[in-house]
């Protein structure tokens, strides 16, 4: 009789994979309710994090303290050169990403990043702890590592340190055992984390990111299965297949938890096992592992630097890809900014290359996927740097093999990404939809009734009365708007007059309990029409000037314009700095003839020729070939670029010209003016103005978010 064979016991790595798969399936099955498991996942992550900073402190100080000064110097020099080598590899590979991006037109709504002050990275606070206990309490890991390194170096020179080293060694071992015990909960913690993420993620929101996500995935595979294996196999005595067996669990755990911190003890333990298996274990190798694992974490890893590929994607996505001349800045400043975190580095780099700050929200959306791969790569980075530095310290590293491996990797990466670009251009059907999106926009709120009436002047008796009384008695509010005043007032594809100002006018009509009469007028006649009552209010992003205030009254400003340059995409880099614009020879500009603002702008660019224009259409249609750029409000210009995506709006650094925008009212109507000012303040305080601004100016539509799809709800029809 054949003996029944029971399934063999699952390894810890297999249990983690099983937990990850079951978590994803659970999240897809039950949908949004799986988000409640987030608390269980967070509990697991906190248990793992509990030992990390004490372990960093004890292991670095103890590891360095045991070294001789000459050994410490040898580790430092070799580690620095190898870390720089891995950084260079990653950034050069990032630079190949545009090969995977098809030739598509793109444009975007106005972004506040065009006018925001650049964020600065406080490297001093990040790396120099004035109070190490504060750094420990606030998890400022780089500062803790710097303190530990300095303390460890100082300990090298101390004579009677054996007792302290014994205590630190025992503390490190105890913390390692704590981490190992908590790691046994990994399958359950990872199940909760992955179920929560899979249940709450909006896959349809990631549709526009698919090019970046596919390119990022290929980049990850190239680094994980080409570059890293070649570096280990060609440059060290180790075989990648041996390391992969030991690194797999740490990579998956880091992938699932979203942080490398929790696997640092695991990386150290597995590296020591692999080094010992090759007969290379020694006091020096132990010191390398003890120092390099936490130190490598505190500096940018391969996984961290991969995230900077988003900057290249963002430029392509917006139709303003980085030029070859910008690549040196990208490589150098990108690496430097990554010393902080991606939450700081991405906004900094977006601002550096004059890309909209709201692209960071797009990055955050994609990071739901990419951040997990980045942490998995960072764990692999920890293994590889430890093995490379150990080999270097023991004089077993082959630099020629590393250089050859880098060349092979870059050649394969260029071919793979170029092939991906061809594949994406063929598979992904793309039509530019920016213009359609803008032209099909509807009012956010339920519109009031709009009447079609001829505009007749008010009688002399009515003109002498309070205009507010006339409006309420008549039951209509007469609104005038001019041509080419998007995104404030324009006709959409349904011939409805919509826009930022029109949204406000419908709200005003509702509060006054009147109907709207909307007419397109000649803006030059607006003052006369306000005076005789043919219109009651002029809208359309009306610029306030002293001379205009003599013929019309203006409400308090409800927003502002930021003056910028409307230019062809290929020329946007020329207008990034106002000093560069001023220095341009034979510059020919065009702008609207508003003397109050035209004269100071012309004085700021004294060598430029300035031509008057009534609207931007002639320039955007290429009918003014001798004009280099159009001086135009950034908020308005961004809307025009949606219709003409080959153009961009640029606000030069060093320029701070702001223009108040208000509604035009008839003169000598204090009651009407006071009512409008009070009403506008109330609408600002209750958040209405900001919601309308975000929708019409920034292009943010909160109603576009749909309920999360799930098998339980959408397939089986279960209802809560």
Taking 70 as the threshold, does the pLDDT of residue 112 lie above it?
no
Cβ(268)–Cβ(382) below 8 Å = no
| pLDDT at position 376 over 90 | no
Q: At what angle do helices 240-257 and 12-30 cross, to 10 degrees?
A: 40
On the 0-12 / 13-18 / 19+ scale of CB atoms within 10 A, 612 is: exposed
Position 324 pLDDT exceeds 70: yes
% of the chain surpassing 90 pLDDT: 20
pLDDT score recorded for residue 1 = 45
Average pLDDT over residues 518-528: 89
List strand residue ranges (DSSP E) for 531-598, in order. Answer: 537-543, 553-554, 559-568, 588-592
Q: Count of alpha carbons within 13 Å of 125, Cβ hemisphere only?
A: 7
Helix (H) or strand (E) segment spanning residue 662:
strand 658-665
The mean pLDDT value for 590-615 works out to: 81
pLDDT tens by residue, 53-92: 787 788 778 777 776 777 677 777 888 889 899 999 999 9
**Which one has a higher pLDDT value, 518 or 107?**
518
Of residues 41 and 528, the one with the higher pLDDT is: 528
Q: Are 310 and 212 in contact (CB under 8 A)?
A: yes
| Beta-strand relationship, 629-633 and 476-481 | unpaired
* pLDDT at residue 304 is higher than 80: yes
Is 480's pLDDT higher than 90?
yes
**Whose CA is closest to 431, among 100, 104, 99?**
104
| DSSP codes, 179-245 | HHHHHTTHHHHHHHHHHHHHHH--GGGGGGGHHHHHHHHHHHHHIIIIIHHHHHHHHSS--HHHHHH
Number of helical H runs and strand E runs in the chain: 31, 13
Q: Which pLDDT value is given to residue 341?
A: 60
Band the pLDDT of 559: cuts 50, 70, 90.
very high
- Using the predicted structure, report yes or no on whether residue 505 has a pLDDT greater than 80: yes
pLDDT of residue 552: 92
130 Cβ contact list (under 8 Å, min separation 6): none
Give the pLDDT of residue 647.
Answer: 87
What is the per-residue pLDDT for 122?
66
3-state secondary structure of 590: strand
Homologous superfamily in CATH for domain 12-107+139-427: Sodium:dicarboxylate symporter (1.10.3860.10)
Stronger pLDDT, 457 or 334, i.e. the higher one: 457
The whole-angstrom separation of Cα 121 and Cα 91 is 20
Residue 105 confidence (pLDDT)? 65
- Alpha carbons 362 and 73: distance in angstroms, whole number: 43
Burial of 593 (0-12, 13-18, 19+ CB in 10 A): exposed
Domain boundaries, the chain: 12-107+139-427, 435-720
The helix/strand/coil state of 53 is: helix
Task: Decide: 238 and 387 in contact? Cβ < 8 Å.
Answer: yes
pLDDT, tens digit, for every residue of 389-434? 888 888 889 999 999 999 999 999 999 999 998 888 787 766 677 7
Q: For residue 123, what pLDDT band results from cuts at 50, 70 and 90?
A: low
Write out pLDDT tens, residues 675-707. 999 999 999 999 999 999 999 988 887 665 566
Residue 685 to residues 447, 558, 663: CA-CA distances in angstroms? 22, 12, 18
What b/e sequence results for 486-525 when a residue is b if at least 16 CB atoms lie within 10 Å of its CB, and e otherwise?
bbbbbebeeebbbbbbbbbbbbbbeebebebbbbebebee
Which of 570-573's residues contact partners 24+ apart within 8 Å by CB, and which partners?
571/628, 571/629, 572/320, 572/354, 572/648, 572/650, 573/323, 573/325, 573/326, 573/354
* Average confidence (pLDDT) over 299-327: 82
Query: Average pLDDT in the 331-348 region?
Result: 71
Per residue in 432-456, pLDDT (tens digit) is: 777 788 888 889 888 888 887 778 8
Instruction: Answer yes or no: is pLDDT of 488 > 90.
Output: yes
CATH 3.30.9.10 holds for 435-720: no
Query: Mean pLDDT over all residues of the chain?
Result: 82
């Amino acid at each position: 009789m054949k003996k029944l064979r029971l399934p063999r016991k699952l390894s810890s790595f297999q249990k983690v994979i099983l937990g990850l798969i079951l978590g994803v399936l659970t999240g897809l099955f039950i949908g949004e309710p799986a988000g409640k498991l987030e608390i269980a996942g967070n509990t697991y992550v906190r248990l793992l994090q509990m030992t990390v900073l004490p372990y960093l402190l004890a292991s670095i100080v103890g590891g360095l303290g045991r070294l001789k000064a000459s050994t410490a110097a040898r580790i430092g020099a070799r580690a620095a050169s190898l870390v720089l080598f891995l950084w260079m590899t990653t950034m050069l590979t990032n630079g190949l990403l545009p090969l995977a991006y098809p030739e598509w037109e793109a444009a975007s709504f106005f972004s506040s990043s065009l006018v925001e002050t650049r964020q600065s990275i406080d490297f001093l606070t990040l790396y120099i702890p004035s109070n190490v206990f504060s750094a420990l309490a606030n998890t400022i890991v780089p500062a803790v590592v710097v303190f530990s390194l300095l303390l460890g170096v100082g300990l090298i020179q101390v004579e009677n340190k054996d007792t302290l080293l014994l205590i630190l060694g025992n503390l490190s071992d105890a913390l390692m055992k704590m981490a190992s015990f908590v790691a046994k909960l990994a399958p359950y913690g990872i199940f909760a984390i992955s179920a929560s993420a899979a249940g709450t993620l909006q896959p349809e929101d990631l549709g526009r990111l698919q090019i970046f996500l596919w390119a990022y995935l290929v980049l990850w595979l190239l680094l994980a299965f080409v570059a890293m294996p070649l570096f280990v196999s060609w440059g060290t005595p180790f075989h990648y297949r041996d390391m992969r067996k030991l690194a797999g669990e740490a990579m998956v755990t880091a992938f699932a938890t979203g942080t490398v911190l929790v696997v640092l003890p695991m990386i150290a333990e597995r590296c020591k096992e692999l080094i010992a298996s090759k007969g290379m274990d020694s006091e020096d190798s132990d010191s390398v592992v003890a120092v390099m694992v936490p130190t490598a974490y505190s500096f940018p890893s391969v996984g961290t630097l991969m995230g900077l590929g988003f900057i290249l994607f963002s430029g392509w996505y917006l139709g303003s890809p980085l030029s070859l001349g910008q690549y040196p800045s990208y490589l150098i400043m990108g690496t430097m900014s990554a010393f902080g975190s991606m939450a700081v580095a991405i906004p900094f780099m977006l601002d550096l290359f004059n890309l909209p700050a709201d692209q960071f929200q797009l990055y955050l959306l994609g990071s739901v996927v990419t951040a997990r791969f980045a942490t998995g790569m960072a764990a692999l980075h920890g293994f590889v740097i430890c093995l490379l530095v150990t080999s270097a310290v023991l004089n077993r590293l082959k630099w020629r093999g590393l250089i050859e491996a880098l060349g092979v990797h870059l050649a394969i990466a260029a071919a793979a990404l170029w092939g991906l670009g061809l594949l994406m251009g063929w598979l992904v059907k793309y039509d530019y939809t920016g213009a359609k999106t803008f032209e099909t926009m509807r009012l956010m709120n339920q519109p009031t009734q709009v009447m079609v009436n001829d505009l007749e002047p008010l009688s002399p008796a009515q003109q002498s009365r309070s205009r507010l009384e006339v409006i309420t008695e008549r039951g209509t509010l007469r609104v005038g708007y001019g041509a080419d005043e998007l995104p404030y007032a324009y006709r959409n594809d349904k011939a409805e007059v919509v826009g930022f100002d029109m949204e406000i006018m419908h709200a005003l009509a509702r509060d006054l309990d009147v109907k709207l009469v909307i007419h397109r007028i000649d803006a030059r006649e607006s003052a006369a029409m306000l005076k005789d009552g043919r219109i009651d209010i002029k809208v359309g992003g009306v610029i306030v000037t002293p001379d205009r205030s003599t013929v019309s009254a203006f409400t308090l400003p409800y927003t502002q314009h930021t003056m910028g340059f409307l230019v062809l995409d290929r020329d946007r880099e020329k207008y990034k700095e106002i000093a560069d614009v001023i220095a341009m020879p034979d510059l020919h500009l065009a702008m609207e003839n508003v003397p109050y603002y035209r004269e100071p702008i012309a004085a700021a660019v004294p060598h430029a020729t300035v031509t008057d224009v009534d609207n931007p259409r002639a320039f955007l249609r290429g009918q003014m070939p001798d004009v280099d750029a159009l001086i135009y409000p950034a908020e308005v210009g961004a809307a025009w670029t949606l219709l003409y995506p080959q153009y961009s709006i640029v606000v030069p650094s060093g320029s701070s010209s702001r223009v108040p925008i208000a509604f035009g009212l008839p003169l000598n109507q204090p009651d009407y003016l006071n009512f409008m000012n009070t009403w506008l303040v109330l609408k600002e305080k209750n958040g209405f103005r900001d919601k309308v601004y975000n929708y019409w100016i920034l292009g943010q539509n909160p109603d576009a978010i749909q309920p999360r799809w799930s098998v339980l709800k959408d397939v089986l029809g279960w209802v809560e």
